Chain A
Amino acid sequence: MSNPVFERISQDVKDNPVVLYMKGTPIFPQCGFSATVVQILSHLGVKFKGIDVLTDPSLRDGIKQFSNWPTIPQLYVKGEFIGGCDIVREMFETGELQQVLSEKGVPVTAQ
């Protein structure tokens, strides 16, 4: 991979157990879908790194190509793409998200 944006994404999802590519920041999400995922992660007490794609157009396009996924937010756990808002919400409601996080060794402090 010679694309510098891809290299940056690879490094970020390797260095941080839980990464959320989002619009805005965890404190001030700029989009309802991003806000939903922030709420779910916060509810579960999961520590995550929020990366604001609005500050960098090359990242905003790059993450969509990297994941082959057309929308933001995008959640990565231990380097694996978990999904966007719909999938994260569905997995949270079925308890699958909590299970995936635990299996991957990410502390979850609430159900």
Chain B
Amino acid sequence: MAMDASEIERLIREGIPDAVVTITDLRGDGDHYSAQVVSKAFAGKSRVQQHQMVYQALKGRMGDVLHALALQTSVPK
């Protein structure tokens, strides 16, 4: 099972409109990605809450069709 990087980015941006998303295909297999997500929407939220917002934007795909997405979230400086 795999998922396209552009699809991941599209979903995250759909859920968190101002997000700046950088996706890296870690192994070139379309199954192990890392994503850096920067958004003002994360301000004042814990890391767990920030990641939950991204997972919510991915609508259940994380842990399902999307096996591995190393996630790093932050607020713009």
Contact = CB atoms under 8 A, between A and B. Distances in A.
Contact of A87 (B48, B55, B64): B48
B70 interface: yes
Tell me if B's interface is mostly helix, strand, loop or mixed: mixed
Interface residues of A, number: 15
A83 B63 contact: no
Contact of B63 (A70, A86, A90): A70
A71 B63 CA distance: 5
Interface string A57-97: 00000001000111100000000011111110011000000
Interface of B: 47-48, 51-52, 55, 60, 62-64, 68, 70-72
Interface of A: 33, 64, 68-71, 81-87, 90-91
